C-alpha cells in the first residue's frame, strides 16, 4: 500500500454535521481567492465562526480544498462551468463524497473507524469509540475519550440523524446532512444501538463502485483482489458502501457489460477463489466518473 503520513483527526467539525450547500459554498469561497482564516469569512459564508471552521473541515477531508486552494477533484465536481455536479443534485455524488470522506488514506477519523474497523453489523457509540482508539499507534498519545465520543456522535448523526421522536425541531434536524439520504445507518428500537444497512444500494451507480475499486487497488499497487478482500478489508468498497457479495458482483458485471469498461473489469476463478480484475490505471479513475456524469451527452 502506498505510504501516506496518516493524520489522526478527531475534531475540527465543531460537532456540526455536513450541511446542504456547505461544500459548494466552501468551494466557491476558496475559488474566489479567499481564505477561511480571513476576517471576512464569517460575512462571505454567512455563518458563525465555528461553522466556518466546520465547512473547512468537511471540505478538506472530502478533498474539495487542500492547503487553502481548490483541488482538481473539487474543480471537476463543483465547477459551475462544466463540473460533474456543481449543485450536488445527483445522489451518486453523495456516494462519491462518502467514499472520499471515510476511505481517505490520510485522515483517520471516527468515520474511518465506523466504516472500516468496527466490524459489527449492530453497534453502540461506545463500540465505535473503542474502534477509533485502536486506530492510534501505541506510541501516540490518545485523545480523551470525550473528544473521540464527540467525533463518533458527529459521524453517526451525519449518517443517521437524531432519533426522530415527536416534535418539529427533531424532524428538521434529522434532515441536516445529505449523507443521511444514503440510508447507511439505521437506529434500532433498543436505545443507543444502531445497525448498518448492508446490501444493494439502488442509488449507487456501478461507475462509482468501479471508481472505488480502482482507487482501492491502485493504492495497493495491485490490479486484482479477491471478492472477499474487496468486501471486508479496511477502506474496501464493500466496507465503505456496506455491500454484500451479490451487490458487489452485480456492479462489476454491469461494468463488464458496458462497452466503455468491458475490457477493464472482469472476474476470474481459480481453485474456488474468485477475483476481480481492474486494469483502469490510477490516473484514469476519473474517466469512470466522466462516463457516469456525461452519459447521454452528444
Distance CA 230, CA 47 (A): 40
Percent of the chain's residues with pLDDT above 70 = 93
Listing DSSP states for the chain in one string gives ------EE---SSTTPPP-TTHHHHHHHHHHTT--TTSTTHHHHHTS-HHHHHHHHHHHHHHTSEETTEE-HHHHHHH-TTT-S-TT--SHHHHHHHHHHHHS-SSEE-HHHIIIII---SEEEHHHHHHHHHHHS-TTSPPPPHHHHHHHHHHHHHHHH-S---SSHHHHHHTTS-GGGGG--EEE-SSTTEEEE--S--TT--HHHHHHHHHHHHHTTT-SEEEHHHHHHSTT-HHHHHT--HHHHHHHHHHHHHSTTTTTTEEEEEETTEEEEEE---GGGHHHHHHHHHTTT--
Mean pLDDT of 266-277: 89
What is the model's pLDDT at position 96? 98
Asked if the model's pLDDT at residue 16 lies above 50, the reply is yes
> Between the CA of residue 57 and those of 18, 36, 96, 209, what are the distances in Å?
9, 10, 17, 25
pLDDT tens-digit series, residues 178-231? 999 999 999 998 778 999 999 999 999 999 999 999 999 999 999 999 999 999
Contact 125, 156 (CB under 8 A): yes
pLDDT tens-digit series, residues 105-161? 999 999 999 999 998 999 999 999 999 999 998 777 889 999 999 999 999 999 997
Q: What is the CATH number of domain 206-293?
A: 1.10.10.10
What is the model's pLDDT at position 164? 43
DSSP-derived pairing of the beta strands 193-196 and 65-66? unpaired
**Cα angle 97-249-2, degrees, rounded to a multiple of 5:** 50
Query: Please, which pLDDT band fits residue 31 given cuts at 50, 70 and 90?
Result: very high
What is the model's pLDDT at position 166? 40
To the nearest whole number, what is the mean pLDDT of the chain? Answer: 91
Phi, psi of 69 (to 5 degrees): -130, 155
Query: Please, which pLDDT band fits residue 296 given cuts at 50, 70 and 90?
Result: low
Asked if the model's pLDDT at residue 169 lies above 50, the reply is no
Question: So where are the chain's domains?
Answer: 7-196, 206-293
What is the model's pLDDT at position 165? 36
Beta-carbon count within 10 A of 89 CB = 7
Query: Please, which pLDDT band fits residue 297 given cuts at 50, 70 and 90?
Result: low
What is the model's pLDDT at position 245? 95
- Terminus-to-terminus CA distance in the chain, angstroms? 39
Asked if the model's pLDDT at residue 33 lies above 90, the reply is yes
Amino acid at each position: 500500500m502506498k505510504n501516506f503520513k496518516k493524520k489522526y483527526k478527531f475534531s475540527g467539525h465543531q460537532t456540526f454535521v455536513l450541511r446542504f450547500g456547505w461544500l459548494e459554498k466552501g468551494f466557491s469561497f476558496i475559488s474566489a481567492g479567499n481564505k477561511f482564516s480571513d476576517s471576512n469569512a464569517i460575512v462571505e459564508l454567512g455563518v458563525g465562526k465555528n461553522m466556518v471552521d466546520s465547512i473547512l473541515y468537511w471540505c478538506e477531508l472530502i478533498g474539495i480544498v487542500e492547503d487553502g486552494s481548490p483541488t482538481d477533484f473539487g474543480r471537476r465536481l463543483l465547477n459551475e462551468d462544466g463540473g460533474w455536479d456543481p449543485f450536488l443534485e445527483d445522489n451518486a455524488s453523495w456516494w462519491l463524497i462518502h467514499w472520499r470522506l471515510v476511505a481517505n488514506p490520510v485522515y483517520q477519523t471516527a468515520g474511518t473507524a465506523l466504516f472500516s474497523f468496527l466490524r459489527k453489523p449492530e453497534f453502540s457509540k461506545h463500540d465505535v469509540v473503542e474502534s477509533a482508539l485502536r486506530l492510534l499507534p501505541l506510541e501516540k498519545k490518545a485523545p480523551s475519550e470525550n473528544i473521540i465520543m464527540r467525533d463518533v456522535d458527529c459521524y453517526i448523526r451525519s449518517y443517521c440523524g437524531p432519533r426522530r421522536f415527536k416534535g418539529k425541531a427533531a424532524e428538521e434536524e434529522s434532515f441536516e446532512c445529505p449523507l443521511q439520504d444514503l440510508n447507511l445507518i439505521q437506529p434500532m428500537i433498543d436505545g443507543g444501538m444502531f445497525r448498518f444497512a448492508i446490501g444493494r444500494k439502488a442509488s449507487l451507480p456501478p461507475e462509482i463502485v468501479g471508481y472505488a475499486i480502482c482507487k482501492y487497488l491502485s493504492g495497493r499497487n495491485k490490479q486484482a483482489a479477491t471478492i472477499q478482500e474487496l468486501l471486508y478489508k479496511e477502506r474496501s468498497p464493500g466496507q465503505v458502501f456496506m455491500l454484500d457479495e451479490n451487490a458487489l458482483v452485480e456492479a462489476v458485471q454491469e461494468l463488464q457489460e458496458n462497452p466503455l469498461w468491458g475490457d477493464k473489469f472482469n472476474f476470474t476463478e481459480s481453485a474456488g477463489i474468485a477475483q476481480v480484475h481492474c486494469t483502469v490505471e490510477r490516473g484514469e479513475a476519473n474517466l469512470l466518473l466522466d462516463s457516469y456524469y456525461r452519459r447521454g451527452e452528444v
